């Protein structure tokens, strides 16, 4: 790679300019973005499955309509993100193939099962909460199409977070059994939510370079700390207990101390050994195969329309 081009690129990034699809960029920058954006897209799409599981069982028509809209939003996020990745020269087919073959990752969080209705509350509150914490800084990521996709995604995610928290409020103020259900969901989703931010900084191979290229604007540990600090008072308001005996306010650092994430569990889930990992990928493969006819019909229609317009 031409050192002069690289230097000019680094200077643009350091000056907070956006890099656009036709601009020169180092191959490693392109690769990192394709990896991160496509994995982000896969997470949105696989992320529809745990909540989709509850659409037919939502406790009221109102809850059902809200959940349906939320899950559809996730599909939209996946599509914007696939489009953003396509501007870097990868194709939708390549990305989907990488997901289905297990080559591309998606967030560990979506490999856990949704056992009760309270899990839908906990996902909105904690999982969308963690997603926003990570995505708000990405609105200023250095690659233009990714940054712009994040603006709308963040607006929708904040609605998702509120709808989840509102479910938790209803359960926490409901019957004793409902409150127990809410506590149980918090117990099961708390630690996996902290894992969403990725490995600790000193064990994160991509962070240093991604920070320098302003792909990432905050490190994994910085975002995890912010998430804990914001979420603990929300748990207090619900009258629920965060399942971490080491969690306590530290006046000196102006933040909470908290216990160690089980990193062995994290890496096992990253390797594809999550509790429902097989079910998730099977569901995606089946959806892709069963809907082949839709893609073929759409392509045939587009070809006909093009031929008619050309005539």
Site string for ligand FAQ, 79-118 (x = CB under 6 A): --------------------------x-xx----------
Strand duo 248-250 + 255-257: pairing:
antiparallel
Cα–Cα distance measured from residue 146 to residue 270, given in angstroms and rounded to the nearest whole number: 24
Least CB distance to ligand FAQ at residue 19 (A)? 17
Quick one: 236 or 279, whose CB is closer to ligand FAQ?
279
Residue ranges in 24-43 that form contacts with ligand FAQ under rule CB under 6 A: 35-36, 39-40, 43
Least CB distance to ligand FAQ at residue 135 (A)? 6
Site string for ligand FAQ, 140-169 (x = CB under 6 A): ------------------------------
By CB under 6 A, tell whether 134 contacts ligand FAQ: yes
Rounded to 10°, the helix 129-138/220-238 angle is 140
Q: How many residues does the chain have?
A: 311
Cα–Cα distance measured from residue 151 to residue 95, given in angstroms and rounded to the nearest whole number: 23
- Cα angle at 77 between 63 and 59, to 5 degrees? 10
Cα–Cα distance measured from residue 299 to residue 186, given in angstroms and rounded to the nearest whole number: 45
**156 CB contacts (<8 Å, ≥6 apart)?**
73, 76, 77
By CB under 6 A, tell whether 198 contacts ligand FAQ: yes
Quick one: 53 or 204, whose CB is closer to ligand FAQ?
204
Residues that bind ligand FAQ (CB under 6 A): 35-36, 39-40, 43-44, 47, 74, 105, 107-108, 123, 127-128, 131, 134, 195-199, 204-207, 210, 216, 220, 270
């Amino acid at each position: 790679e031409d050192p002069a081009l690289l230097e000019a690129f680094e200077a643009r990034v350091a000056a907070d300019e956006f890099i656009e699809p036709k601009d020169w960029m180092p191959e490693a920058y392109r690769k990192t973005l394709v990896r991160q954006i496509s994995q982000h897209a896969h997470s949105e799409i696989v992320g529809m499955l745990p909540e989709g599981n509850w659409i037919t069982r939502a406790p009221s028509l109102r809850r059902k309509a809200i959940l349906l809209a939320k899950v559809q939003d996730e599909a939209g996020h996946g599509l914007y993100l696939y489009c953003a990745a396509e501007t870097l020269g990868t194709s939708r087919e390549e990305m989907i193939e990488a997901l289905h073959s297990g080559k591309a990752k998606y967030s560990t969080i979506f490999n856990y099962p949704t056992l009760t209705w309270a899990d839908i509350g906990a996902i909105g509150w904690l999982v969308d909460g963690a997603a926003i914490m990570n995505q708000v800084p990405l609105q200023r990521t250095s690659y233009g199409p990714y940054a712009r996709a994040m603006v709308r995604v963040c607006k929708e995610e904040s609605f998702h977070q509120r709808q989840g928290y509102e479910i938790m409020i209803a359960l926490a103020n409901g019957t004793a059994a409902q409150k127990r259900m809410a506590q149980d969901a918090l117990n099961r989703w708390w630690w996996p939510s902290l894992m969403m931010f990725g490995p600790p900084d000193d064990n994160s191979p991509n962070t240093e370079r991604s920070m320098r290229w302003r792909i990432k604007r905050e490190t994994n540990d910085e975002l995890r700390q912010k998430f804990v600090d914001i979420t603990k008072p929300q748990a207090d308001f619900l009258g629920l207990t965060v399942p971490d005996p080491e969690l306590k306010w530290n006046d000196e650092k102006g933040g909470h101390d908290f216990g160690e994430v089980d990193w062995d569990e994290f890496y096992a889930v990253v390797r594809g050994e999550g509790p429902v990992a097989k079910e998730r990928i099977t569901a995606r493969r089946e959806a892709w195969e069963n809907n082949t006819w839709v893609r073929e019909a759409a392509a045939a229609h587009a070809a006909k329309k093009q031929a008619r317009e050309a005539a």
